[in-house]
Chain A
Amino acid sequence: MSQLLTSTPHRGGLPAPVPTGPVRLHINGQTQTLQLAPWTSLLDALREYAHLTGTKKGCDHGQCGACTVLVNGRRINSCLTLAVMHEDDDITTIEGLGTPDHLSPLQQAFVDHDAFQCGYCTPGQICSAQGLLNECRAHSEAEIKELMSGNLCRCGAYTGILNAVKEVVDKQ
């Protein structure tokens, strides 16, 4: 009782891939010109073309927050936007917030509160928390928890994340 599933041929041949062109991006205070196709997401541009792999891919569909970066100070999912749309924007990634020898207050708080395990969601959590600080919206623990809930952490480091963000919010 088998059934044949035959595909329909593409009529008139395959549509050709879109050509690339120069795209100027301001990332972490530096301007780079990357050769990109219009279909390249900001996330892939960062990871595969600018080789800034601190920004992570967890789903590519806006479902996990691992790819969170700051665009003009606002947190966005970089997998849900195209690189070409950000030519004049100010893009900040985790690499722009601090370095291993000079951690930002949030990064240091994440280390102190052990707010991660595997570390894969962490750059997104920190960029998201930085965006949250910029928004000045989080005052209570409940608000931090709610407003950080767009960033999944499969290791379940949420308690540490809350305490780390709270420490920095309280100092603000």
Chain B
Amino acid sequence: MTQTNHIGKGANRVDGPLKVSGTAHYAGEFNVPNLAYGYVVNSPIAKGKVTRVHAEEVLGLPGVLAVYSHENVPHLAWFDRSYKDLLAPGGSPFRPLHTPDITFNQQPVALVVAETFELARYAAALLRVDYEQEPHETNLGTKRTEGYLPGGGKLGYAPPPPPRGNPEKAWKNATHSIEAEYAHGAQHHNPMELFAATVEWLADDKITVYDKTQGVFNVQRYLTGVFGLSKDNCRVVNQFMGGGFGSGLRPQYSVFMATLAALELKRSVRVTLTRQQMFSIGHRPNTLQLLKLGTNPDGSLAALQHHALHETSLFEDYTENVVNWSGMQYKCDNVKLGYQLAQLDVYSPQDMRAPGAATGNVGIEVAMDEMAYAAGLDPLEFRLRNYAERDQNVDKPFSSKKLRECYHEGAAKFGWDKRPLEPRSMRNGHLLTGWGMAGGVWDAMQMPSRASARLTADGRLLVLSGAGENGAGTYTIMTQIAAETLGLPLEAVTFELGDTDQPQAPLQGGSWTAASVGTAVKNACDALGQKLLKLAQKQKDSPLQGADYDEVEFVNGQLRLRRDPDQAVVLRDVLQASGETEVEADSTALPNMLKQNGYSLHSHNAVFAEVQVDEDLGTVRVTRVVNAVAAGRILNRKTARSQVLGGVVWGLGMALMEETIMDHKFGRYVNHNYAEYHIPVNADMPDIDVLFIHEEDDIVNPLGVKGIGEVGMLGVTAAIANAVFHATGKRVRDLPIMLDKLL
């Protein structure tokens, strides 16, 4: 029996005891000596200029140490490229406190630093700032004709593929056709943890930065670029992140401010943003989508057109892939996909869980529901008739695609076959029940990543990679991979992450951590394993004499021959007998382009949802959700399920609650707090079933894992919207679906 097969099992989180006991430390919780506190002051106008910062008044208060604004910030890096982080889109990155110009509401205009948090907050409240206000535009509706295709894009951006077939003619000649516009406003990530940075000042130009970030190396790159520090003197640490969802992919102004103050004051500084200020650090952009679909008499898609327009700031071309998914999700020979940006006086949007896909998915999947009804077909049957066996965008087969199984197993679990097609046909008094479904697709990506592994004579394995843990379970799955590779119990393995002193890992996002860091960890452990085999073979009379690495296996603390497991040595003995105190190896993992090039790499899911709508009040309750996911190998069933459960909560929020409402008169978000930006609470929870569909894929990466954080959210919003239509007969095309839209 092997007790060291950990992958795929549902081990408890190895970092669980720290998190439930309050002993996991987040960025704003490092108690460093001689700490000062910074508090940010933000602009109340969306456009114009700061004409005066009356710093001298608050500097007179005892305990106030400094006020930084464009008036006194020292000369920093000059060129845009110094401010560009790994995920910066085209344009000029925002430079905090750089000029008097205001380009978005809530733009930070000053930092007040004081001996205590309360004092900094007090002085910030008293700080007088004068402005010259200019007219602004924050309404995307005014920019319908001013959209443009961005020239470049950020990491991962792919412009829409060129049109195929004759989409306009095919749409006009279709047997049945629909045309509809879908919209949603801005949404904010709102992770629970406030953005914070604690900068520990160690010596002149030498700091350690505890920052809330999804990428310590990205922050290090940014800070060294902006402040001219050497990498050695700018260590960035994040061992626990209280949720990111994309908000921590790019360095935020909190870390800029804290670093600035620490270097100037030569003392440690913490800057924590308020919940309100966290509405000024990026958002899912306000987006308009136009869909045109048409079918042939047999229910196959004759034409598919999907066009999206979303906001960006005046200074950066933020991009995300909104429409491309529609061209690969269904088989269709006449396809046109369009994507445009429009500049508004807002801050640059920022990747938010399943960026682009979450938006485009609502467009295509609600339109597919509308199309099914126009063609008189069951929405699931309609999707099955248009199943894409190939990715027509790039004309390649999928490396694996078990979406059909997601549809079937999800439908069976949900009881979809009992669904009457007719809307408003399931009524119980004043409650209307509706069933809806939708599917999703996300990229299976792998990024270059490094890791190291060290076995010590006491039999403990330490594995390092500067990855992130924002709740996805990185500590746990990396521990499982390392332990299984070297045949150790989980307790014998420690995985550490989130430190620029460790081997470099990619940003924690895009659902690529398991594939990227996981492969690096596996490779490092294999490299260590080869060294251990050599050491073992040096022993006199070693039973492993002459064996190649692929002829041995690490199981239950032993190194043994595969074909004859009785020929074994105890791993700990190998080290002790060799006289070494430790053995170490490291490795870099790169995607195998040669293997991957011929394929389209994606994860898929299918979601089925039940809602109950109160006909008199217009209130919507989601009562049941089944989410069937095909995402390759599942490394940990427990944590993977949690990610999908969280995805359902996110999809539910997007469908029914989440919207940051812009008051165009002031160009300012009006509900910028946790009470008025609604997210689901426990009482909103439906019964949720998560199904993992078995999927093997040795093309995506050696582990066969595709990642699950984003795909689990897809389909949910559209399935709920479609269920609301089925319940009420009303098609709501602008999210969130609030009661006023149903009355």
**In the complex, which residues of chain A have a beta carbon less than 8 angstroms from the beta carbon of B394?**
none
Kindly provide the distance from the CB of B658 to the nearest chain A CB, expressed in whole angstroms. 11
* Minimal Cβ-Cβ distance residue in A for B677: A63
Kindly provide the distance from the CB of A39 to the nearest chain B CB, expressed in whole angstroms. 6
Q: CB < 8 Å: which of A4, A47, A51, A119 contacts B130?
A: A4
**In the complex, which residues of chain B have a beta carbon less than 8 angstroms from the beta carbon of A123?**
20, 22
7 contacts between A and B (CB under 8 A): A2-B134, A44-B118, A107-B17, A119-B242, A120-B26, A120-B243, A151-B681
> Across chains A and B, which 10 residue pairs bring their CB atoms closest together, nearest first?
A54-B22, A156-B649, A120-B242, A119-B19, A117-B471, A118-B471, A156-B646, A94-B22, A53-B29, A7-B128
| B76 at interface, CB cutoff 8 A | no
- A57 vs B194: C-alpha distance in the bound complex, in angstroms? 7
Extra 7 A-B pairs, beta carbons < 8 Å, given A120-B191, A153-B192: A14-B60, A64-B275, A95-B23, A120-B243, A146-B682, A149-B681, A162-B682
**In the complex, which residues of chain A have a beta carbon less than 8 angstroms from the beta carbon of B57?**
10, 14
Kindly provide the distance from the CB of A58 to the nearest chain B CB, expressed in whole angstroms. 5
* Minimal Cβ-Cβ distance residue in B for A142: B683
| B688 at interface, CB cutoff 8 A | yes
A159:B23 contact, CB within 8 angstroms: no
A118:B132 contact, CB within 8 angstroms: no
| A136 at interface, CB cutoff 8 A | no
| A111 at interface, CB cutoff 8 A | yes
Question: Would you give the 0/1 interface string for A48-73, flagging 1 where the beta carbon is closer than 8 Å to chain B?
Answer: 10011111111111011010000000
B685:A159 contact, CB within 8 angstroms: yes
| A9 at interface, CB cutoff 8 A | yes
**In the complex, which residues of chain B have a beta carbon less than 8 angstroms from the beta carbon of A103?**
17, 20-21
Binds A, one of B66-74, B598-606, B636-644, B718-726: B636-644
B130:A5 contact, CB within 8 angstroms: yes
| A155 at interface, CB cutoff 8 A | yes
B21:A7 contact, CB within 8 angstroms: no
- A53-B133 contact given A146-B683, A154-B245, A156-B645, CB 8 Å threshold: no
B192:A120 contact, CB within 8 angstroms: yes
B51:A111 contact, CB within 8 angstroms: no
- A117-B191 contact given A58-B275, A126-B20, CB 8 Å threshold: no
| B597 at interface, CB cutoff 8 A | no
* Minimal Cβ-Cβ distance residue in B for A106: B20
B128:A9 contact, CB within 8 angstroms: yes
Complex interface residues of chain B between 20 and 77 (CB less than 8 A to chain A): 20-26, 28-29, 31, 44-45, 48, 51, 54, 57-58, 60-63
- A22 vs B192: C-alpha distance in the bound complex, in angstroms? 32
| B186 at interface, CB cutoff 8 A | no
- A72 vs B135: C-alpha distance in the bound complex, in angstroms? 54
**In the complex, which residues of chain B have a beta carbon less than 8 angstroms from the beta carbon of A54?**
21-23
- A9 vs B689: C-alpha distance in the bound complex, in angstroms? 60
**In the complex, which residues of chain B have a beta carbon less than 8 angstroms from the beta carbon of A29?**
none
A116:B12 contact, CB within 8 angstroms: no
Kindly provide the distance from the CB of A18 to the nearest chain B CB, expressed in whole angstroms. 9
Kindly provide the distance from the CB of A11 to the nearest chain B CB, expressed in whole angstroms. 12
Most B Cβ at <10 Å: residue of A39, A56, A95, A98: A56
**In the complex, which residues of chain B have a beta carbon less than 8 angstroms from the beta carbon of A40?**
118
* Minimal Cβ-Cβ distance residue in B for A62: B675
| A148 at interface, CB cutoff 8 A | yes
On B, residues with C-beta under 8 Å from A are 12-13, 15-26, 28-29, 31, 44-45, 48, 51, 54, 57-58, 60-63, 116-119, 122, 126, 128-135, 190-194, 240-245, 272, 274-275, 470-473, 638-639, 641-643, 645-650, 673-675, 679-683, 685, 688
On A, residues with C-beta under 8 Å from B are 1-10, 13-14, 16-17, 37, 39-40, 44, 47-48, 51-61, 63-64, 66, 93-95, 97-101, 103, 107-108, 110-112, 114, 116-123, 126, 144-146, 148-162
**In the complex, which residues of chain B have a beta carbon less than 8 angstroms from the beta carbon of A97?**
21
Kindly provide the distance from the CB of A54 to the nearest chain B CB, expressed in whole angstroms. 2
B29:A158 contact, CB within 8 angstroms: no
A155:B128 contact, CB within 8 angstroms: no
- A58 vs B683: C-alpha distance in the bound complex, in angstroms? 20
Most B Cβ at <10 Å: residue of A60, A117, A149: A117
- A10-B126 contact given A54-B21, A118-B470, A156-B646, CB 8 Å threshold: yes
B193:A63 contact, CB within 8 angstroms: no
Kindly provide the distance from the CB of B494 to the nearest chain A CB, expressed in whole angstroms. 14
Q: CB < 8 Å: which of B21, B129, B241, B682 contacts A149?
A: B682
B25:A157 contact, CB within 8 angstroms: no
A2:B133 contact, CB within 8 angstroms: yes
- A60-B274 contact given A156-B648, A160-B642, CB 8 Å threshold: yes
**In the complex, which residues of chain A have a beta carbon less than 8 angstroms from the beta carbon of B63?**
17
- A154-B133 contact given A14-B61, A17-B119, CB 8 Å threshold: no
**In the complex, which residues of chain A have a beta carbon less than 8 angstroms from the beta carbon of B116?**
37, 48
**In the complex, which residues of chain A have a beta carbon less than 8 angstroms from the beta carbon of B639?**
114, 117
A114:B648 contact, CB within 8 angstroms: no
- A114-B17 contact given A3-B132, A61-B673, CB 8 Å threshold: no
**In the complex, which residues of chain A have a beta carbon less than 8 angstroms from the beta carbon of B31?**
51, 53
- A148 vs B685: C-alpha distance in the bound complex, in angstroms? 12
A114:B274 contact, CB within 8 angstroms: no
Kindly provide the distance from the CB of B643 to the nearest chain A CB, expressed in whole angstroms. 7
B674:A59 contact, CB within 8 angstroms: yes
A117:B642 contact, CB within 8 angstroms: yes
* Minimal Cβ-Cβ distance residue in A for B242: A120
- A48 vs B669: C-alpha distance in the bound complex, in angstroms? 30
**In the complex, which residues of chain B have a beta carbon less than 8 angstroms from the beta carbon of A51?**
31
- A66 vs B116: C-alpha distance in the bound complex, in angstroms? 22
- A161 vs B53: C-alpha distance in the bound complex, in angstroms? 48
Kindly provide the distance from the CB of B125 to the nearest chain A CB, expressed in whole angstroms. 10
* Minimal Cβ-Cβ distance residue in A for B709: A117
* Minimal Cβ-Cβ distance residue in A for B135: A1
**In the complex, which residues of chain A have a beta carbon less than 8 angstroms from the beta carbon of B471?**
116-119, 155
A117:B643 contact, CB within 8 angstroms: yes
Kindly provide the distance from the CB of B105 to the nearest chain A CB, expressed in whole angstroms. 13
**In the complex, which residues of chain A have a beta carbon less than 8 angstroms from the beta carbon of B21?**
54, 94-95, 97-100, 103, 107
